[in-house]
Structure 1
Amino acid sequence: MEDYILIKTLTFSLVSLILYSVGRVVQVYWLRPKSLEKQLRQQGIRGRSYKLFQDDLKEIKMSSEEAWSKPMSLKHLIAPRVFPFFDQMVQNYGKVSLGWFETRPRLIVAEPELIKLILADKSGHMTKPPLNPLVNLLQLGVATLEGDQWAKRRRLITPAFHLEKLKGMVPAFVNSCSGLINRWENLIGVQGSYEVDVAPEFQNLAGDVIARTAFGSSFEEGKKIFELQKKQAVLVLEAYYGFYFPGLRFIPTKKNKMRYNLDN
């Protein structure tokens, strides 16, 4: 009799646990996202509908790869090239549109006044979506920090972008740009033409400008640091778009070793 009661109790507990787990999964992956979507649409916000296990990351990656695979037209409208997914969202749904990060709704804001309000917010109501822990391992800055840490980092970097300081950097900008132009002119030589891949050229230009203005050196002197930053950027993007399984960052894989070496 006691065995029967014990088995019955265990069976009831197991069934209750299974039902709770199923209910929790349904709540997290369907009911809550659809409820949030309904509330946002009631406020007049248009955008993409929530789909199970389908967020914006795959679309962002595909649209970027498609845009970058084509030659860039000579015009100042670079948003379709740099952020093709977000540009298309704004075109389709307006300057405040709804996207998705896993099960969380994400607002895409392209209204200047609202952007100013969000960037200057100190109340803590404007939060960033949780990131793959590997991203936090590789990149800690105003793009990822929250609360007091974000405010402190913002205060530290703000003086560097004061208008008078930027004006003082103009000679360094001129020197870097002149060096690039002179190098291109030497490449042309007597042939009168020369094909150049401008992507790495402008990456080096940006690195040279940063080195001159921030460290008083040149790109060549800081080349090793910039090469490490390029590797870091690749790993950050990979982690940002990839799927993270809890505990994966502690496995001593080749890429995890690279991440820890770059962080240190």
Structure 2
Amino acid sequence: MIMDLGYNSFGVSCALVLILWGCRVLNWVWFRPKKIEKCLRKQGLKGKSYRVLYGDSKESAIMVKEANSKPINIFDDIVPRVMPFLRKTINVYGKASFIWFGWTPRVLIMDTDLIKEVFTKIHSFQKQKTSPLVKLFINGLAIYEGEVWEKHRKIINPAFHQEKLKHMLPAFYLSCSEMVNKWEKLVSTKGSCEFDVWPYIETFTSDVISRTSFGSSYEEGKMIFEHQKELAELVGQASQSVVHSRMEVFTN
């Protein structure tokens, strides 16, 4: 009899735990997003209705893949290629609209006064919560808030004073000259040449950072930059996955 009562109590406890978790999951994937959507629409924002788990992520990914599969001319509008889904949303729903990144809404605003208000009222409009995985890779001003942000901002401010930047000009010039020399070598063989400038711009940026911060060139620390780039891509892929997003919700 005592054993039966023990088993019954255990079964009831398990059932209660499952019910509580079920309610939490339902709130996470449905009730909370729909409540936020209702609130956004009351404020005059427009957008697609929330779709469970994925939101607009799937449609956005398909549009980006389709846009990148087609060639683009140098004088074509770049926006449809870089941000096809955002462009479509703004065209359909206006300059005050929202999209769904999974179960999280993202508000799109193009009113300069509203944008200024968002950037100036830092305590009212805070950065989005960073996932535990991203925090392993990114730290500092990009994710800090409040007093911690103000403290670190004061620390780095002197590095961007005009006199400090003047001393960096030789490093900027050297990195820029090396990049232009590489381009001239490509052109000199045939008299004209078509090539992708983006990899050179990436190298130039890394080279400037290396010279001004560490006193060495990009080539000397090339492997470190490549590993950082690879790690950033992996973190980006993981942060967009539904499995990781589920983990993020239950760890916050």
Q: Tell me the TM-score normalized by structure 1.
A: 0.72
Q: Which structure 2 residues correspond to residues 1-264 of structure 1 after superposition, within 5 A?
A: 16-75=16-75, 78-123=78-123, 125-161=124-160, 169=168, 172-242=171-241, 243-244=243-244, 246=247
- SS at 1:222 equivalent: helix
Give the gaps of 5 or more residues in structure 2. none
> What CA distance in whole angstroms lies between the structure 2 residues aligned with 1:246 and 1:22?
16
Residues 56, 99 of structure 1: 8 Å contact kept = yes
Letter in 1 for 2:26: V
Letter in 2 for 1:151: E
How far did 1:83 drift?
Answer: 3.9
RMSD value over aligned CA atoms?
Answer: 3.5
Q: Across the two proteins, how many residue pairs are aligned to each other?
A: 246
Letter in 2 for 1:100: W
Residues 58, 241 of structure 1: 8 Å contact kept = no
> What CA distance in whole angstroms lies between the structure 2 residues aligned with 1:185 and 1:16?
72
CA 1:220–1:9: 2 relative to 1, 3 Å: closer
How far did 1:98 drift?
Answer: 1.4
Moved more, 139-148 or 4-13: 4-13
1:12-52 superposed Cα distances (whole Å, 9 cap, x missing partner)? 66655554444333333212211111111011011232111
CA 1:236–1:163: 2 relative to 1, 3 Å: farther
Q: Tell me the TM-score normalized by structure 2.
A: 0.75
> What CA distance in whole angstroms lies between the structure 2 residues aligned with 1:154 and 1:169?
20
CA 1:219–1:25: 2 relative to 1, 3 Å: closer
> What CA distance in whole angstroms lies between the structure 1 residues aligned with 2:165 and 2:78?
23
How far did 1:86 drift?
Answer: 3.4
Percent identity between the two aligned chains: 41
1:88-108 superposed Cα distances (whole Å, 9 cap, x missing partner)? 433433333212233332223
CA 1:159–1:92: 2 relative to 1, 3 Å: farther
> What CA distance in whole angstroms lies between the structure 2 residues aligned with 1:164 and 1:231?
35
Moved more, 159-168 or 28-37: 159-168
